[in-house]
Structure 1
Amino acid sequence: METKAVRRSLTGPLVTWGVTRAVLLLFVFRVLLFPGPDVTSDVSVIYRGWYEVLRTGTFPLDDVTWQYPPAAALAVLSPAALPFLSYPHAFFVLAALADLVVLALLAHAGRRPDGSRRGLWVWVAGVPLLGPTVYARYDVMVTAVAVAALLAGVQRPRVLGALTALGALLKVWPALLLVGAVRRRAWASAAVTSAGLAALFAVSMPGAFAFLTFQRDRGTEVESVGALVFHVARQFGWSGQVLLNYGSIEFVGPGVAEVSTAALALTAGAFGWLLLWRLRATRVSPYTLADAAFTAVLLFTVTSRVISPQYLVWLIGVAAVCLTARASRMGPPALLVVAASLVTVLEFPLGFAHVVVSDGYGVALMFLRNGLLLAAALVACRRLWRATVPARPAIPFPPRQTRTEETPVSS
């Protein structure tokens, strides 16, 4: 009887996943045409070009658009595992398989005694809202590693550390998964794994860490929170430009360097808040690990100089892990992220031309999407703090003395 109930509870998510992912594959295989610019060109042109260079045993040192840690080479080279398919088609199939891995992990986590199907639904419904971009970037593969790390983290801290290190060497942001880790074994495992992998790449492939220089020189991308300053300034005659710079569409001109510096300062401030939270948090429970990771990734995203559409895949994945625990406090910010995903596909690829020229529609989309992400970050911070940091007892004021008739009065 219990098995039948479990099967019935999984039928809806599985059918929805199958239908929506089939549609996504039809889009990336170009059987159906998704409106707007072709989002698959990154795979067929950029990734394929990197693939040819990486096969020679070196990183693309002359390409400033290569801004990824060394393990990203594994994702770019992965289509070689399916030699009977063309490079783009093999990549799309592997992206769909990574999506399926996340589905299986979330479904298993939801079956725990304290589990919930909410996380499974967040992933099933949230991912297709981003459109075919999900399968045309390797972020879904990184997210699969991050989801596996968080779900393993409560009972297997060493696995958490090892997978976090791998994820960080794929795309940096999974390092934030350790924010809520309280066991030293997780940190030790992450340190050993990252050091070993980094040394292996540094010795075997020249230019493994050239991406650090390319990242340093980036400006303010048109979809970031900081870019709102220039979207508004253009309405009043700002003299800057929008150019393809370091592989993304960025603002270039007066004030851009200052806004980019301010974004870095805000990121530092966010890390400072996370450090303060770690020092003050005492009511830590098993689900705190994922809640803290979700909050950290949100803070990293909204303070970043770049917010690409695929960043929402990270947020959906980590939010889904949070909501596999019935006691998680991250329901409202997770819903805000899902809503932001819907607005994201409206601005890219559907309305990206409007965003680039900063017309009324494009600016409204950017304010709405980034406003939802900012709200999600603030709500997540507040809920994480309230759930884990005990309130300080109020210090009572001394009773106020009142003059009585018996009190002698000096003349």
Structure 2
Amino acid sequence: MKTTAAPGSPAGLLVLWTLTRTALLLCVLKVIVFPGPDVTSDVSVIYRGWYDVLSAGTFPQDDVTWQYPPAAALAILSPGLLPFLGYATAFFVLALVADLVTLALLLYAGRGPGRARRGAWVWVAGVPLLGPTVYARYDVMVTAVAVAALLAGVRHPRVMGALVGFGALLKVWPALLLVGVRRRGAWVSAVVTGAGVAVLFAVLMPGAFAFLTFQKDRGTEVESLGALVFHVARHHGWEGEVLLNYGSVEFLGPYVNWVSTGALFLTGAALVWLVVWRALARRLEPHTVADAAFVGVLLFTTTSRVISPQYMVWLVGLAAVCLCFRDSRMGAPVVLVLGACLVTVLEFPVWFAHVVASDALGVSLLVVRNGLLVAAAVLGGRRLWHATVPGWRGVAGVPGPAPAAETPVAP
């Protein structure tokens, strides 16, 4: 007798999505108590406070924890669409809706020649690995916009550009989705949309760009790659401290500025590498735009002085888009990112106290998680380069057609 929910079928995928998302929703609603600190306070306290300010027609100009582009106001105000629910509950429901929309987009994208449902499976399996933090931040909403943009870019570059422009005004990083795009229409559409949304907010709401002044005094966040220096240094007489600063737990003290500057240097080096790749890449295929976006965001996430757990949602979404294409070279980097997601939920929130204390367990978790991200970034960049830059096809086992068979430029 056949079942309607076989493990590899869309029905089986939907069953798994329903089970895992029900568990996440029960966690953020506190029906199930998830170990570690309460991850929902950002919504019930911080977002709720911003909602009151934004509802009055202005941005939180005196709150240094507001470090988001102006369109983020739409995510914070969105629970007003469900006035029959409390603020936090409405936010969690809308996060669930964004999750479901993303799944629907990936399922649709997995149909047809050269496509696969494995992208949808990456999303269904990857999101719950991060625990309830996914629904307690607005990043899942931004990721839904980014996924829609990448998938639209295959046939509708101007639509992609408009979504990228809007997404960048939600949380900046979606601007990196254009790194592999050659069509001028996408870039023009992104600039016009982004500028239009920015001007609209600047005219209608005071303080739209106050967030730009709230970044300069930040330290090094305790979960970042650079933070490993101070986790070790604390055991050898370093005189700094760990404090809640600018909305995250950071190291503050001697030499922190040096490490933060080093992180900026690495990010700059990643940008230079992407520019050089873009200049040299010639063999671009339909999946190259998604692969390049995944690698670009992975590089910037890994080198950042802040690697908050919710950043991993971005990578899961972009990884899922990559694997909607059967010919994507990002299979192994995606597996590494999923492994990093599993370790992320252990370091936050489950054993975050150990991370803050810089003890053996906390430091080990960060070494493994950040090591997986570094490995994914290096491997992903290497595969992207080998697959697209002339003279590199077939090197190191990278599959692909013969060098002479140049493929058309992707949208």
Matches within 5 A, 1:211-360: 211-360=211-360
Answering whether residue 103 of structure 2 is matched by residue 103 of structure 1, we say yes
Once residues 9 and 19 of structure 1 are traced to their aligned partners in structure 2, the CA distance between those partners, rounded to angstroms, is: 16
Displacement of 1:7 in angstroms is 11
Give the counterpart letter for 1:113 in structure 2: P
Distance, in Å, in 2 between the alignment partners of 1:201 and 1:392 is: 46
Q: How does 1:169-188 map to 2 (within 5 A)?
A: 169-188=169-188
Verify the 8 A CA contact 2:274 2:296 in the aligned structure 1.
yes
AA aligned to 1:219 is G
Deviation, 1:54, is: 0.2
**Alignment-derived partner of residue 406 in structure 1:** none
Looking at structure 1, the residues matched to 258 and 8 of structure 2 have their Cα atoms a distance apart, in angstroms, of 55
2:409 match:
none
Q: Which residue of 1 aligns with 2:203?
A: 203
Confirm or deny that 1:375 pairs with 2:375: yes
CA distance in 1 between counterparts of 2:5 and 2:64 reads: 53
Which residue number corresponds to residue 14 of structure 1?
14
2:351, 2:362 within 8 Å by CA — same for their partners in 1? Answer: yes
Give the CA deviation at 1:217: 2.3
Alignment-mate amino acid for residue 368 of structure 1: V
- Deviation of 1:5 after TM superposition, in Å, equals 11
One-letter code of the match for 1:83?
P
Q: Sort the Cα spacing of 1:7 and 1:130 in 2 relative to 1 into closer, same or farther, 3 A.
A: closer
1:216 CA drift (Å): 2.6
1:98-155 alpha-carbon deviations (Å, 9 max, x no partner): 0000000000011121111111111000000100000000000000000000000011
Post-superposition CA distance 1:340-362 (Å, at most 9, x none): 00000000000100000100000
Separation (CA, whole Å) in 1 of partners of 2:337 and 2:132: 18
Deviates more, 1:112-121 or 1:378-387: 112-121
Residue 12 of structure 1: CA displacement?
Answer: 1.6
Q: Counterpart of 2:401?
A: none
What is residue 404 of structure 2 aligned with on the other side?
Answer: none
Q: Measure the CA separation in 2 of the matches of 1:5 and 1:22.
A: 18
Q: Does 1:26 align with 2:26?
A: yes
Identify the residue that residue 396 of structure 2 maps to in structure 1: none
Read off the aligned partner of 2:87 and give its amino acid letter: Y
1:85 aligns with 2:85: yes
**How far is the alpha carbon of 1:392 from its aligned partner?**
7.2
Deviations 1:182-238 (A, max 9, x none): 100000000100110000011111110111111232221000001011011112121
Aligned equivalents of 2:69, 2:152: Cα separation in 1: 24
Letter in 1 for 2:150: L
For each residue in 1:143-184, what CA deviation from the matched residue of structure 2 results, as whole angstroms up to 9, or x when unmatched?
000000000001100011000011100000000000011100
Larger CA Rg, structure 1 vs 2:
1
Deviation, 1:389, is: 0.4
2 CA distance for matches of 1:12 and 1:240? Answer: 51
| Residues 223/7 of structure 1: CA separation in 2 closer, same or farther (3 Å cut) | closer
Corresponding residue SS for 2:57: coil
Distance (whole Å) between structure 2 residues aligned to residue 22 and residue 234 of structure 1: 41
Q: Is the 8 A contact 2:221 2:249 kept in 1?
A: yes
Measure, in 2, the Cα distance between the counterparts of 1:112 and 1:250: 47
Give me the whole-angstrom Cα distance separating, in 2, the residues matched to 1:173 and 1:192: 17
Taking the aligned partners of 1:381 and 1:232, their CA distance within structure 2 comes to 29
How far, CA to CA, are the matches of 1:377 and 1:214 in structure 2? 28
Q: Percent identity?
A: 72
Task: State the distance in 2 between where 1:215 and 1:267 align.
Answer: 16
Unaligned runs of 5+ in 2: 394-411
Per the normalisation by structure 1, the TM-score is 0.93
CA distance in 2, matches of 1:214, 1:376: 31
Residue 8 of structure 1 deviates from its aligned partner by 7.0
Aligned to 2:163: 163
Q: Which residue of 2 aligns with 1:137?
A: 137
Shift of 1:6: 11
1:73 matched residue in structure 2: 73
> Structure 1: how far apart are the matches of 2:150 and 2:289?
7
Please give the per-residue CA displacement for 1:48-68, whole angstroms capped at 9, x wherever unaligned.
Answer: 000000000000011100000
Q: Deviations over 1:221-280 (max 9, x none)?
A: 000001011011112121100011111000001110011011111111100000000010
Distance 2:378 2:392 in 1: 21
Distance 1:41 1:267 in 2: 30
Alignment partners' CA distance in 1, 2:8 and 2:221: 45
TM-score by length of 2: 0.93
RMSD (CA atoms) = 1.4
- Structure 1 unaligned regions, length at least 5: 394-411
What is aligned with 1:401? none
Match of 2:399 in 1: none
The residue that corresponds to 2:361 in the other structure is 361
